[in-house]
Amino acid sequence: MIEVSGLHKAYGDFAAVVDSSFEVGDGEVFGVVGPNGAGKTTTLKTLAGLIEPTSGTVRVAGYDAADPEMRRRLGFLPEESPLYEDMTALSYLRFFADLYDVPRSVADDRIEDALDRLDLEHRRRRLGDVSKGMKRKVAIARSLVNDPEVLIYDEPASGLDPVTTDSVLAFVRELREAGKTVVLSAHNLHHVESVCDRVAVMDEGEIAARGTVAELREEHGTVEYVVFTTIDPANVDPRLPDAERSSRGGSEVDDATPEGSTGGARRYRTRVSSMADVDRIREAIADAGGEVVDIRTDEPTLESVFLSIVDRPMASRYGRTPGSNSATVDGSGGDGPGESGPSGHGSGEGRPDEDEPGEP
């Protein structure tokens, strides 16, 4: 459904997105994650046809992303979505449906359906008087008035309370069930894990990794082993260096009765990162007449995987030329914007309608 090839977006000498390529399949929910300034919004706006790439191609359903026909078949939710405060949810959504020339009766059914599924109350209350969560839901409903095949959502659940977040995430799952293709960005990795089929991790404008969460875990995460013993391995084997014990605390007394132990005796828990370490503990404990009562594996969290991916030296983003994967100019002298990048979003070369398609 979406094919991005060699996408590069520069603002002057600064590369916001560098040589980025990925595909999103029909009916897939694809997550774009990364630290602040990584290039997520720029990528999403390019997919939505709101930013013109400096080079590279972005094709959505066979169309160039900026093709007006594609814009009609796509729904975009910006990171910030100011609404017209004096309108009600219903009048606001009807207004947008009119912009897309959706007949009123079709629009009303569609709007009712979206608002029902989003569990939106107070549809006839002035938007200026409703909660932030409701406003976000109205903005999400707005992205659906034209019944698009592709939805591009920038931080759909950011800043929402847990209940509203759950309902927004459940709604994204429903969109997938309805066959829609969704690309979303998020900072909360649990959200990403709970809704996305595949993920791209961006860092400093580049796609640093992509795949399913399980693939990213396997490739970039470290499995840890937790060994439960009847005696503390560190006390019985001086050959076990400190470094072999977990940074999360190493050997410690565990008051809980672990699986497989007999009775309520105290157990010791040691966290290590390789099977070789597990074997050394096993040996040490056996030598001391103790027992290994349980060994468990701890999957890496998506957070630790993410940190290991983005914690890598990157080339400067200044002077990067399309297609090259390295800096041609060293920006470390500090001539340009700082680490957080230029402050003036939209102040560069983007088209005037970059932020709010169809917003009058």
Ligand X SMILES: Nc1ncnc2c1ncn2[C@@H]1O[C@H](COP(=O)(O)OP(=O)(O)OP(=O)(O)O)[C@@H](O)[C@H]1O
Q: Which residues make up the interface to ligand X (CB under 6 A)?
A: 11, 16, 34, 36-42, 341-342, 344-348, 350
Q: Which residues contact 64 (CB under 8 A, 6 or more apart)?
A: 49, 57, 58, 70
- In the bound state with ligand X, the residue whose beta carbon lies nearer, of 54 and 230, is 54
Nearest distance from residue 112's CB to ligand X, in Å? 33
- In the bound state with ligand X, the residue whose beta carbon lies nearer, of 34 and 133, is 34
- In the bound state with ligand X, the residue whose beta carbon lies nearer, of 211 and 342, is 342
User: What is d(CA 284, CA 111) in angstroms, rounded to the nearest whole number?
Assistant: 67
Encoding tokens for residue 90? 């219903």
Per residue in 144-174, is it b (16+ CB within 10 Å) or e — as a string?
bbbbbbbbbbbbbbbebeeebbebbbebbee
Nearest distance from residue 216's CB to ligand X, in Å? 18
Sign of CA dihedral 279, 285, 290, 295: negative
First-to-last alpha carbon distance for the chain, in angstroms, is: 29
Nearest distance from residue 348's CB to ligand X, in Å? 3
- In the bound state with ligand X, the residue whose beta carbon lies nearer, of 11 and 30, is 11
Q: Which residue is nearest to ligand X (CB)?
A: 341
- In the bound state with ligand X, the residue whose beta carbon lies nearer, of 207 and 281, is 207
Cβ atoms 201, 33 nearer than 8 A: yes
Please report how many Cα atoms fall inside a 13 Å half-sphere around the Cα of residue 190, on the Cβ side: 5
Burial group, residue 2, by CB count within 10 angstroms (0-12, 13-18, 19+): buried
Nearest distance from residue 2's CB to ligand X, in Å? 17
Sign of CA dihedral 276, 278, 281, 283: negative
Nearest distance from residue 135's CB to ligand X, in Å? 19
User: What is d(CA 231, CA 10) in angstroms, rounded to the nearest whole number?
Assistant: 59
- In the bound state with ligand X, the residue whose beta carbon lies nearer, of 20 and 42, is 42
Nearest distance from residue 7's CB to ligand X, in Å? 12
